[in-house]
Amino acid sequence: MSNCKFLDNKCIYYKENNNKTSLLKEYLSKNKKIQEDIKLMKNNNDVYIDSPMFESKSIFKKSDTEVFEDIENNIKLISEKLKICFDENCTNSRCKNIFMTYSSKKVGSTALWGSINLFLSDFYSTLHIHAEEDLERLEIYELTMNQIIQIFKKYKKNVIVVDIYRPILDTMISQFFDNLSIEFHASRNLVNLAFNSDELIERFNQIFYLYYSKNDCDYFCETYNIEDNNIKEKFDFEKKHIYFKDETIHYFKLRLCDADEWEKILKPYLIGDFQLIKSNESDKKIFSELYKSFKSKYELPKNYVESIKENQYLKKYYSQLEYDNYIDKIKISNDDFQMFNKATLSSNIYFKNKNKSNLIYGLEILIQNKPIAQNCICNECKKLRNKTKLSIKEGKSKNNTKNNLYVKSNLNNNKGNFFTKMSFN
């Protein structure tokens, strides 16, 4: 019997008040920036598209030296917010073993993270991180993810950190659709009804380089604390991953195109087996038909082609044959596109809503379904995981994203829709 302080029968996601409207009002009342944006939208009949959901507090980040000088308080913070015990006498496997995806958005990380949660929740605590803002949502303002990883290393936690590569154009389009609520300051359902794919293509092309600049990066080589440049130089196309070990920290670089082989690639490093469950797929969301229409019609403007063809990461993580096949599948327009210039992109951008409707702020920006694979070990969550795993093993619902990885909103009054998507498990 484990003596971990986090083992009890109380659901850690219990909330007395789980009403969407009250949650939205509570959030808006605390966020003056969004209040200002809504006023501007109403007054100008324009839609502000670059308003961050959470203002970064990176100014408060500690230096690496400060982190270890104040190690006791930092451990207390991590333990409280991430539900990971640092007691040396703790025998709970979940506190000794940590699995995290630390990568860009829309690269398959939710599917991998959720699948590990679902099948290996008895052995691993997990983290699902895209940026430091995800830590800030958990009220961890002074530490970076790399600093937290170094603290795990100091206390000999067995940590697996995974970054995933997906071609930048595919990533950008998926992120654009996930951000429809922000782009148009409306619920995605309303955008789905009010706009057609041609209008979305025009909008996407207008802000193409905004998305490009945010995704032209490599977490494994540039963000992770890996000092061995040799390991970062070349992708192993035979093994289909890069692996680097730093004492008890195991860093991986995977590719989304190899998702069917992730189970085999990670098996030697995991306690137990898992099945990869598809999740967070754009072609299965509320805007699926609009997304499919966009993808079928989209032609890359002629003046954008070079930025995709010459992308250094596409050349690095795809073999020559894979690269050629990928480029050949891209439909290219005969025309250039007049994008917003950099000066415009760096300022606040507004977009006319064409008077199609009175666009309202989208609730689903703030309220999202909770993955059942969260860091909760109450009896009800355990039963739900076991039921889902049994259903998958019987071949009933492996590709049913909502049923597999998300709590149904009618499960009970306290576990359906929950304020903000938390980034820990």
pLDDT value of position 289: 87
Total-model pTM? 0.77
Largest CA distance in the chain: 67
Report CA 28 to chain centroid distance, whole Å. Answer: 23
Residue 8 in domain: no
Residue 286 in domain: yes
Residue 425 in domain: no
Residue 35 in domain: yes
Q: How far, in Å, CA of 20 to CA of 419, rounded? A: 8
Contact between 81 and 139 under an 8 Å Cβ cutoff? The reply is: yes
What helix, strand, coil percent values describe the chain, rounded to 5? 50, 10, 40
**How is residue 98 written in tokens?**
């940590």
Residue 13 in domain: no
pLDDT value of position 343: 44
- 10-residue mean pLDDT profile of the chain (425 residues): values are 56 41 50 53 38 43 84 90 85 91 94 89 90 83 92 95 98 90 67 80 88 92 90 92 96 97 96 85 76 94 96 97 97 87 41 35 33 56 77 63 39 30 29
pLDDT value of position 325: 97
Within 83-130, where are the H helices?
A: 93-96, 109-120
Residue 210 in domain: yes
**How is residue 403 written in tokens?**
């049923």
Residue 131 in domain: yes
Residue 12 in domain: no
How many domains does the chain divide into? Answer: 1
Q: What is the pLDDT of residues 352-402, one digit of tens each?
A: 333 333 333 333 333 333 343 355 666 777 777 788 778 777 776 554 444
Q: What is the pLDDT of residues 69-89, one digit of tens each?
A: 889 999 999 988 888 889 888
* Full domain range(s) for residue 358: 20-47+63-419
